[in-house]
């Protein structure tokens, strides 16, 4: 065999390997549009956070005015930098001023020496805006929204993991149903020739041949129904199994597992530890915690807005020019600014709204915690009872198979009629279908149990 042929044989063998759940879950987490949609929410939150940081961008401004003709002939100009800081809401200013010529008396504060002056100032709020202000609140709120968006992404992954698991096991179940329907059909078809020969020989009445033809038609109908079920399951699974470009990938029939994996009993664990694990791991709870953090920021801002405005301002100005030509070359200024809305209805309304939002989110958290506890209890019981059911159906299949084979052997020897053979085959088929349903029930319950505990693919 050449190297090329060997490589092609290996590729075909790998492609035809049974599709495993892990492959589906990895594909779903990496390529599902639902996860991609949640990731864009995170990108939006990070963009908003970047915008909030822009409140602390260094600002620059400049202006100038010249009056060459008129009663007053003067020129003024100013340029400066402004920097708001998150430290107590302080703001720093620095710049250059120029005011020369025949400035009117009411513009006297704009007058400078011929070379202008350098100025610097600092404004520090003492009450309103000291502990928190709109800029710091916006930054803290966007940080909380980023964490909310991260929890949304984790929630999307958790939901997709659960739903992809369910789609996979339903596909396996549909494959087993089709295989059983095909097996029963082929048994009836293979038996038809033997019955026809025995009818010709006079060992069986003609009615047995007609009955077997009816059985073939009945099983053809059931096979068609099973085929339709498998096609539907394939389409559902393709929503989670995607190619590298993200397009749905319908799995081939050659990738169907031959059987369900053997279920295993759950390892003993205390309900308290399982509930604690779920409450710690579920991203929906983390999402609510982060939303409450944002609401608390809004409440603190609204509460601070009830305080009066009291800002301390300080500044220094240095006149430029040769020594001795600029009197009062250095000037120091200190001032206070005050202000307060007498009724303060806007701030009080925002505070009441923020407190109501906090109480609402607290109620949501209590409800979600109670729901998570209920989900853990319910899903664990579902897994345990599904395992017991699977054990019973497995034993039932073994017994039904023995009875079916015995009845078929008796029929071959002429000791049993076709009706009893058909009944035994149908009992065996019902037992197999019950086992398939029990296996599906077990793995569906297991997917719900892992979802309740907040476990994803990697865990």
Higher-confidence residue of 335 and 202: namely 335
pLDDT at residue number 171: 97
Query: What mean pLDDT comes out for the span 387-408?
Result: 89
pLDDT at residue number 362: 94
Measure the CA–CA gap between 310 and 328, rounded to whole angstroms. 30
pLDDT at residue 13 greater than cutoff 60 = no
Tokens describing residue 31: 């390529």
How far CA 237 is from CA of 141, 296, 373, in Å, comes to 39, 43, 30
pLDDT at residue 163 greater than cutoff 80 = yes
pLDDT over 90 percentage in the chain: 63
Tokens describing residue 350: 């925002």
pLDDT at residue number 114: 85
pLDDT at residue 230 greater than cutoff 50 = yes
Average the pLDDT over each of 192-206, 283-297, 314-328, 431-445 and give the range with the smallest value: 314-328
How far CA 253 is from CA of 16, 29, 257, in Å, comes to 9, 23, 9
pLDDT-derived band at 326, boundaries 50, 70, 90: low
pLDDT at residue number 439: 95
Measure the CA–CA gap between 189 and 198, rounded to whole angstroms. 15
Tokens describing residue 126: 């003492």
Higher-confidence residue of 325 and 121: namely 121
8 Å CB contact between 403 and 424: yes
pLDDT at residue number 9: 39
pLDDT at residue 365 greater than cutoff 50 = yes
pLDDT at residue number 452: 95
What pTM was estimated for this model as a whole?
A: 0.82
Q: What is the Cα gyration radius of the chain? A: 40
Query: What mean pLDDT comes out for the span 159-172?
Result: 96
C-beta neighbour count of 306 within 10 angstroms: 16
Q: For residue 263, give the DSSP letter.
A: P
Query: What mean pLDDT comes out for the span 222-229?
Result: 95
pLDDT digits (tens, 9 = 90+) for 427-447: 888 899 999 999 999 999 999
The C-alpha angle 326, 332, 335, rounded to 5 degrees, equals 145
Measure the CA–CA gap between 386 and 374, rounded to whole angstroms. 18
Query: What mean pLDDT comes out for the span 240-249?
Result: 93
Average pLDDT over the chain, rounded to an integer: 88
pLDDT at residue 7 greater than cutoff 60 = no
Average the pLDDT over each of 110-119, 169-178, 179-188, 233-242 and give the range with the smallest value: 110-119
Query: What mean pLDDT comes out for the span 308-315?
Result: 92
Measure the CA–CA gap between 196 and 212, rounded to whole angstroms. 10
Query: What mean pLDDT comes out for the span 232-253?
Result: 94
pLDDT-derived band at 182, boundaries 50, 70, 90: very high
Architecture of domain 21-52+135-301+348-453 in CATH? Up-down Bundle (1.20)
What are the domain boundaries of the chain? 21-52+135-301+348-453, 54-131+311-345
DSSP E strand boundaries for 274-407 = 309-319, 330-339
Q: Which of 226, 169, 209, 216 is closest to 440 using CA atoms? A: 169
Q: Which of 168, 165, 209 is closest to 191 using CA atoms? A: 209
Number of H helices, E strands in the chain: 9, 6
pLDDT at residue number 270: 87
Query: What mean pLDDT comes out for the span 220-249?
Result: 95
pLDDT at residue number 291: 93
pLDDT-derived band at 323, boundaries 50, 70, 90: low
pLDDT at residue number 6: 43
pLDDT-derived band at 96, boundaries 50, 70, 90: very high
Return the H-helix or E-strand segment holding 74.
Answer: strand 74-84
Higher-confidence residue of 422 and 261: namely 261
Query: What mean pLDDT comes out for the span 344-370?
Result: 92
């Amino acid at each position: 065999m050449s190297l090329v042929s060997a490589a092609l044989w290996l590729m075909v063998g790998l492609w035809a390997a049974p599709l495993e759940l892990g492959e589906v879950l990895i594909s779903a987490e990496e390529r599902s549009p639902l996860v991609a949609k949640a990731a864009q929410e995170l990108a939006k939150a990070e963009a908003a956070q970047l915008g909030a940081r822009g409140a602390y961008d260094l600002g620059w401004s400049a202006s100038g005015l010249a009056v060459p003709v008129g009663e007053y002939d003067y020129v003024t100009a100013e340029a400066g930098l402004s920097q708001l800081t998150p430290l107590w809401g302080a703001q720093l200013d620095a710049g250059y001023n120029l005011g020369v010529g025949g400035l009117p008396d009411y513009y006297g504060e704009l007058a400078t020496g011929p070379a202008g002056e350098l100025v610097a100032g600092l404004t520090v709020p003492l009450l309103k805006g000291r502990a928190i202000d709109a800029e710091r609140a916006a930054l803290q709120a966007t940080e909380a929204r980023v964490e909310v968006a991260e929890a949304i992404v984790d929630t999307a992954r958790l939901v997709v993991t659960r739903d992809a698991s369910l789609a996979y096991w339903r596909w396996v179940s549909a494959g087993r149903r089709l295989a059983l329907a095909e097996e029963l059909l082929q048994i009836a078809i293979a038996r038809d020739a033997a019955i026809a020969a025995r009818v010709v020989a006079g060992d069986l009445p003609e009615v047995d041949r007609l009955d077997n033809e009816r059985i073939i038609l009945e099983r053809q109908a059931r096979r068609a129904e099973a085929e339709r079920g498998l096609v539907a399951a394939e389409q559902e699974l393709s929503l989670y199994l995607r190619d590298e470009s993200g397009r749905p990938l319908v799995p081939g029939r050659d990738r169907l597992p031959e059987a369900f994996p053997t279920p295993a009993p759950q390892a003993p664990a205390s309900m308290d530890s399982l509930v604690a694990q779920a409450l710690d791991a579920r991203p929906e709870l983390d999402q609510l915690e982060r939303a409450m953090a944002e609401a608390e920021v809004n409440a603190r801002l609204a509460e601070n807005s009830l305080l009066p405005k009291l800002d301390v301002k300080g500044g220094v100005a240095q006149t430029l020019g040769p020594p001795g030509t600029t009197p009062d070359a250095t000037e120091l200024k200190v001032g206070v600014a005050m202000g307060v809305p007498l009724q303060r209805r806007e701030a009080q309304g925002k505070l009441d709204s923020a407190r109501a939002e906090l109480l609402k989110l607290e109620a949501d958290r209590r409800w979600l915690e109670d729901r998570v506890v209920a989900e853990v209890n319910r899903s664990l019981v579902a897994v345990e009872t599904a395992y017991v059911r699977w054990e019973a159906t497995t034993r039932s299949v073994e017994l039904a198979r023995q009875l079916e084979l015995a009845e078929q052997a008796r029929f071959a020897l002429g000791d049993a009629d076709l009706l009893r053979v058909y009944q035994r085959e149908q009992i065996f088929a019902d037992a197999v279908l019950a086992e398939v349903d029990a296996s599906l029930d077990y793995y569906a319950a297991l997917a719900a149990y892992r979802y309740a505990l907040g476990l994803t693919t990697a865990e």
